[in-house]
Structure 1
Amino acid sequence: MLPKVNQILYVQVNSIDPEEAGQEFKARIADINSSYISMEVPIHDKTGHLKRLYSGDQLSVYFMMEGGVKHYFNTVVLGFKEEVIRLVLIKPPEPDQITKVQRRNFLRVPAELEIAVKASDKLMFTALTNDVSGGGVSLECDERIAVKERSAIECWVLIPYRNGTIEHAYFKGEIVRVKPLENGKNIVMVQFTDIPDIERQRVIRYCFERQLDIRKQ
């Protein structure tokens, strides 16, 4: 069941910064169509401060139905619309993406990082990531590299930080999707299945720094 015009959305920004991620805002829905949901600029219920959002910000959202049941979905800021007041445009969820249980949604940032992949003892290759999150990565490789969905892989990703230091993060993952591109390459989407906490924190730190850089652009 989709939310309706004039309903209140409760919004959290999906950020690596725990202070920002822990704040909840609310916004009234102004309009809904197949392309976007427009909502008022979110406001903090306790402080009354408006939340400045950016195109591409990832949000965790819920709305209340009869009986006080919360319905959750994840979305992204598409842009803004200037009317009598400024409206924020977010991507509408598909009905099957709305759940009664809040899903953990790691911040995903666009990033070209060097990654080494071991798919088997006979298949090893290097590539560049397309995006990175605390829950997985997507990478681009030549279509002639025989990777298959649901197969297990090992990866080492090179992580450069803003202070000039470089670290490696090791993880085991599962290929959840292989998407062919028109340029003769594939996008390979990988979900972490086994990653030490210290390695995940390295990835999350990079995502936080990358998010700050993107917001400054």
Structure 2
Amino acid sequence: MIDTTIFQDKTAVYYTLGCKLNFSETSTIGKTLKEAGIRTARKGEKADICVINTCSVTEVADKKCRQAIHRLVKQHPGAYVVVTGCYAQLKPDQVAGIEGVDVVLGAEQKGELMNYLGNLEKHSQGEAITTAAKDIRSFSPSCSRGDRTRYFLKVQDGCDYFCSYCTIPFARGRSRNGRIEEIVEQARQAAAEGGKEIVITGVNIGDFGKTTGESFFDLVKALDQVAGIERYRIS
């Protein structure tokens, strides 16, 4: 059990690079920290925690990630800095070597970020905690609000195809998905919050069901029964 008393009245900032899937995951991280008593820092306010969710599609993306990390470290001196996402998974030691970074979390650890905050004391040097791509198996559900009534719902992660030009299988691990029952419950929560449209997201949605023995068609049929959601889009 995590002692959340040390997080009361602490503040955090979140910075996301890359795809809608990353934005959805950052949103879920933010909700988890909020439940522990950590509020989002106001504009211009110095934060106690910086969470940076990175992309690594190209060298340009890597450069943008490094720039974002340097910028946030400078803007929030003394903050506990956590870097996760694809760049963190692919080049953890490089990221851990950036001044000001405390913890680098890979794809398997991203969903358990709370477990790596400790007492928020700065590290003398960055610590990288990752899992080899072939061993990444956990699926971290996420659902984020894109605007007032549109939500992005993650249903699948990872890829098994290993195309020569693509780093996704190494950055996000093998294909895996959530269970229909759990995903439908997230859709119901979105509807309860006023959501009218859900964008179904994933790395390779056509692979949905590989890890649960279900099918994407069954998922769509189940989601169609959720009262209040007027439109679904497949991203």
Higher helix share: 2
Instruction: Give me the TM-score of the superposition, normalised by structure 2.
Output: 0.27
- Greater gyration radius: 1
Q: Which has the higher contact order (CA 8 A, sep 6+)?
A: 2
